[in-house]
Structure 1
Amino acid sequence: MTPVQRLLGLAVLILSLMVFAAGVTWQVQAWRYTGQLERLAAARANDLNDLTQGVLRQQQAEQAKRAALEQQLASQDQQHTKELSDAQRDQARLRDRLATSDLRLSVLIDATDSASGRNVPTAPGAVGVVHGAQRARLDPAHAQRIIGITDDGDEGLIALRACQAYVRAIAR
Structure 2
Amino acid sequence: MNNFLVPDEQNVSEKNKRILEELKGLFGRVPNIFTAFASSENGLEAYFNYLTQKNSLTDREREAVNLIVSQVNQCPYCLSFHSAIATRLGFSNEQILDIRANDIRFDKKLKAVTALAHNIAITKGKIIGDVLEDFYEAGYDQGHLVDVVLAVGNITTLNLLYAITNVPIDWPKVTV
Q: Under a length normalisation based on structure 1, what TM-score does the superposition of the two structures give?
A: 0.24
Larger radius of gyration: 1
Higher helix share: 1
Bigger relative contact order (CA 8 A; separation at least 6)? 2
